[in-house]
Chains A and B, each alone.
Chain A
Amino acid sequence: MSIPLSYNVRNLMVRKTTTLMTAAGIALTIAVLLATMGLVRGLRSAFEATGDPLHVLVLRKGGNAELTSLLTQEQFQIVKSFPGIAKGSDGQPMASIEVVTVINIPSEDSPEGMNVTVRGLSVQGVQMRKLKVIEGRWFKPGLREVVVGKSIAKRYPGATLGKQLRFGKGYWTVVGIMDAGGSATDSEIFGDGNQVASDFNRADTYSSALLEATDEGTAAALRNALQSDRRLNISVMTEKEYYEEQTVSSRPIQFLGTFVCIIMAVGSAFAAMNTMYAAVARRAQEIGTLRVLGFNRGSILFSFFLESVLLAIVGGILACIIVLPLNNVTTGLGNFITFSETSFNFRIGPELMAIGLVFALILGAAGGLLPARQAARKEILTALRET
Chain B
Amino acid sequence: MSETVVKTKRLSKEFIRDEFHVKALDAVDIEIHRGDFIALMGPSGSGKSTLLHLIAAMDKPTDGEIEVLGANLRQMSDKAIAHWRNVHIGFVFQSFNLLPVLTALENVELPLKLTRLNKKERIEHAETALKLVGLGDRMGHLPKQLSGGQEQRVAIARAIVTDPDLILADEPTGNLDAAAAEDVLTMLARLNREYGKTIVMVTHDPHAARFAKTVRHLEKGRLLAEGTLPADWAGAVAVRA
- Measured CB to CB, the residues of A under 8 A from B are 1-4, 6-7, 10-11, 14, 285-286, 288-298, 380-381, 384
- Measured CB to CB, the residues of B under 8 A from A are 53, 56, 58-59, 78-79, 82-83, 85-87, 89, 91, 93, 97, 99-102, 106, 110-111, 113-115, 158
Q: Is the CB of B85 within 8 A of A292?
A: yes
Chain A neighbourhood of B110, CB < 8 A:
3-4, 290, 293
Q: Chain A residue with minimal CB distance to B83?
A: A294
Chain A neighbourhood of B113, CB < 8 A:
1-4
When A293-B110, A294-B114 are in contact, do A7 and B85 touch as well, CB less than 8 Å? Answer: no
Chain B neighbourhood of A11, CB < 8 A:
101
* 5 further interface pairs, Cβ-Cβ under 8 Å (given A286-B99, A293-B110): A291-B58, A292-B97, A294-B86, A295-B114, A296-B78
> Which 9 interchain pairs have the tightest Cβ spacing?
A294-B86, A10-B101, A296-B82, A289-B97, A1-B113, A380-B58, A293-B111, A294-B114, A294-B85
CA distance A14 to B144 in the complex (A): 13
CA distance A305 to B85 in the complex (A): 24
CA distance A59 to B100 in the complex (A): 74
Q: Is the CB of A6 within 8 A of B106?
A: yes
Q: Chain A residue with minimal CB distance to B110?
A: A293
Q: Is the CB of B97 within 8 A of A294?
A: no
When A294-B111, A380-B58, A381-B58 are in contact, do A285 and B97 touch as well, CB less than 8 Å? Answer: yes
Q: Is the CB of B93 within 8 A of A289?
A: yes
Q: Is the CB of A293 within 8 A of B158?
A: yes
Q: Is the CB of B106 within 8 A of A296?
A: no
CA distance A295 to B91 in the complex (A): 14
Q: Is the CB of B82 within 8 A of A295?
A: yes
Q: Is the CB of B114 within 8 A of A381?
A: no
Chain B neighbourhood of A14, CB < 8 A:
100-101
Chain A neighbourhood of B56, CB < 8 A:
292
Least distance between B223 CB and chain A CB atoms (Å): 20
CA distance A14 to B89 in the complex (A): 31
Chain B neighbourhood of A293, CB < 8 A:
85-86, 91, 110-111, 114, 158
Least distance between B104 CB and chain A CB atoms (Å): 14
CA distance A1 to B111 in the complex (A): 10
CA distance A110 to B100 in the complex (A): 58
Least distance between A220 CB and chain B CB atoms (Å): 65
Q: Is the CB of A4 within 8 A of B106?
A: yes
Least distance between A342 CB and chain B CB atoms (Å): 53
Q: Chain B residue with minimal CB distance to A294?
A: B86
* Centre residue among B78, B93, B113 by max chain A CB count within 10 A: B113
Least distance between A248 CB and chain B CB atoms (Å): 53
Chain A neighbourhood of B59, CB < 8 A:
380-381
Q: Is the CB of A292 within 8 A of B106?
A: no
Q: Is the CB of B91 within 8 A of A292?
A: yes
A sample of 12 inter-chain contacts (CB < 8 A) reads A1-B113, A1-B115, A10-B102, A14-B100, A286-B100, A290-B99, A290-B110, A292-B56, A292-B97, A293-B86, A296-B82, A384-B58
Q: Is the CB of A296 within 8 A of B53?
A: no
CA distance A297 to B82 in the complex (A): 9
When A4-B106, A380-B59, A381-B58 are in contact, do A289 and B99 touch as well, CB less than 8 Å? Answer: yes
Chain A neighbourhood of B97, CB < 8 A:
285-286, 288-289, 292, 384
CA distance A380 to B82 in the complex (A): 11
Least distance between B96 CB and chain A CB atoms (Å): 9
CA distance A290 to B101 in the complex (A): 13
Q: Chain B residue with minimal CB distance to A2?
A: B113
* Centre residue among A4, A14, A289, A384 by max chain B CB count within 10 A: A289
CA distance A207 to B79 in the complex (A): 77
Q: Chain B residue with minimal CB distance to A383?
A: B58
Q: Is the CB of B83 within 8 A of A296?
A: yes
Chain A neighbourhood of B99, CB < 8 A:
7, 286, 289-290
Chain A neighbourhood of B58, CB < 8 A:
291-292, 380-381, 384
Least distance between B197 CB and chain A CB atoms (Å): 17
Least distance between B107 CB and chain A CB atoms (Å): 10
Least distance between A279 CB and chain B CB atoms (Å): 12
Q: Chain B residue with minimal CB distance to A9?
A: B101
Picked from A1, A7, A290, A297, the residue with its CB within 8 Å of the CB of B78 is A297
Chain B neighbourhood of A7, CB < 8 A:
99, 101-102
CA distance A6 to B99 in the complex (A): 12
Least distance between A147 CB and chain B CB atoms (Å): 65
Chain B neighbourhood of A4, CB < 8 A:
102, 106, 110, 113
Q: Chain B residue with minimal CB distance to A10?
A: B101
CA distance A14 to B99 in the complex (A): 12
Chain B neighbourhood of A1, CB < 8 A:
113-115
Chain A neighbourhood of B91, CB < 8 A:
292-293
Chain B neighbourhood of A2, CB < 8 A:
113
CA distance A297 to B83 in the complex (A): 11
CA distance A381 to B60 in the complex (A): 11
CA distance A298 to B82 in the complex (A): 11
Chain A neighbourhood of B83, CB < 8 A:
294, 296
CA distance A381 to B87 in the complex (A): 20
Chain B neighbourhood of A296, CB < 8 A:
78-79, 82-83
Q: Chain A residue with minimal CB distance to B57?
A: A380
Q: Chain A residue with minimal CB distance to B109?
A: A4
CA distance A6 to B113 in the complex (A): 13
Q: Is the CB of A6 within 8 A of B102?
A: yes
* Centre residue among B56, B82, B86 by max chain A CB count within 10 A: B82
CA distance A7 to B53 in the complex (A): 26
